[in-house]
Amino acid sequence: MHLVVFDCDGTLVDSQHAIVAATEFALRSEGLPVPERQKILSSVGLPLETIMQRHVPDADSAAIERMLDVYRRESLRLAQQEDRGQIMFPGMYETISWLGGMEAVVMGIVTMKSRRGLNRVVDAYGIRDHFQVLKSADDGPGKPAPDLLLDCMSAVGVDPQKTVMVGDTSFDMMMARAAGAYTIGVAWGYQTVEELEESGAQEIVRTPEELNRSLNVFIS
């Protein structure tokens, strides 16, 4: 049995417009300057509180909490729009369906979305039944700590040597390496190929077709 674990934002779905919009809205609610778009995206994958503290390191805890509340309300509003504030990357539904049909493969998601946000994604795109384990920011220490990935392995009874993490950020790669899993970085997400390589990605794929080939080798 092999375990394939996916990140969500930047790997399965492109939610950058909603993330940037909610971040800008939260910062402006406190009259604070807004970072460049790429700086916002480069922090995606960390726990939300950590991200906000990165953007405004001098803010006190009360201000951080207010901005987090604003961010969550704005994210919920965007998620209720017709496009749900995100789109699934082309080809990823097919990859999930292909893996879901394999008896010797189980799948999971580890994301820094809230549990509610993760539920919206798997239900909106009809992919919940393909995943045996779902871990969110509500379930334990955030990336790059290995805890949530180790919890996935424990839940399905698969060893690290037979686990692969698929993600778009250095935080995914560091988490997976710390957990002893194999690492595949996807180049269509929110960090650069160089960042993925420097953080320990053992493979970099540029298309879902390349990802499928790499996964087929890993699970064969």
Examine the residue annotation and report whether 58 is marked as an active-site residue of this protein: no
Amino acid occupying residue 179: A
**pLDDT the model gives residue 83:** 56
Nearest to 167 by CA among 17, 4, 2, 8: 8
For the stretch 20-45, pLDDT in tens is: 888 998 999 989 898 888 888 888 88
CA 136 to chain centre: 9
Examine the residue annotation and report whether 9 is marked as an active-site residue of this protein: yes
Catalytic residue of the set 9, 14, 168, 172? 9
Length of the chain: 220
Catalytic residue of the set 7, 14, 168, 172? 7
Q: What is the DSSP letter of 9?
A: B
Peptide bond into 144 cis (omega under 30): yes
For the stretch 108-126, pLDDT in tens is: 999 999 998 899 899 989 9
| Mean pLDDT (10-residue bins), the chain, 220 residues | 97 88 89 88 86 90 92 82 75 97 96 92 94 96 96 98 97 98 96 95 97 96
Beta strand pairing status for 163-167 and 133-135?
unpaired
Amino acid occupying residue 42: S
At a CB cut-off of 8 Å and minimum separation 6, what does 117 contact? 75, 79, 111, 136
Q: Is 103 buried (19+), middle (13-18) or exposed (0-12) by CB count in 10 A?
A: exposed
**pLDDT the model gives residue 79:** 73
Q: Which domains does the chain have, with CATH numbers?
A: 2-14+85-219 (3.40.50.1000), 16-79 (1.10.150)
**pTM reported for the whole predicted model:** 0.86
